[in-house]
Amino acid sequence: MTDQSKIVFLLKNLGRALIYAIVIGVAYYLFKEYIVSENQEVWLNKFYSNAPLIYLIYTGSEVFFGLFPPEFFMLWAYHKGEVIQYVLNLTFFAGISYGAGYLAFFIGRFLRKTVIFRYMSRKFFMKYWPMFRKYGSVLIIAAALTPLPWALISMLVGSTEYPLKRFTLFALFRILRFAFYGYIIFQTHQF
């Protein structure tokens, strides 16, 4: 596999991430304008103000294969107050996401020879095995930066005897994603 095709793969996924971010932004705008503004007391008092519930939902989402996009939680964090609180929330979200990928890596490593893992491989990993064989470490970076399923790919990588040090290094791109998206969300809400 040439380095050029790996770069093309990464750039293609970054382009998809940009489209994904635009879709999330439009969905957020429509949600805020047409649902929250109509029922503000329900959303703001019962849901938005319950920080432990938000943290619990986010943690569950990241551990169980990213059920909800982290950007929704970043948007929630922006509306919680001061800049320092926003940065602390982003740091928490990034740490949970990185940790969930790390946990998934070890689950893949320890369960790879079990029947349940073979079933999961056929059910969930079939699409990503050829990608991992073809792109290797670039798939880890792409999953860390883009909407590819981070925990699922981390589990797949763990099941392949991939070196832990290399995974730990490439997984740091996940934190870069939170820093980048967090900065974009902060800047777009300044107007």
- Would you say 32 and 78 are in contact if contact means Cβ atoms under 8 Å apart? no
Cα angle, residue 141 at apex, residues 136 and 143 outer, rounded to 5°? 95
Q: d(Cα 174, Cα 142) in Å, to the nearest integer? A: 9
pLDDT per 10-residue tile (average), the chain, 191 residues: 73 77 74 65 62 88 80 82 89 94 92 81 81 88 88 90 94 93 82 48
Q: d(Cα 49, Cα 80) in Å, to the nearest integer? A: 8
Of 139, 153, 171, nearest to 107 by C-alpha is 153
**What DSSP element (H or E) covers 98?**
helix 83-111
Residue 47: count other Cβ atoms within 10 Å of its Cβ.
13
Taking the model in full, what pTM does it have? 0.78
Q: What's the full length of the chain, in residues?
A: 191
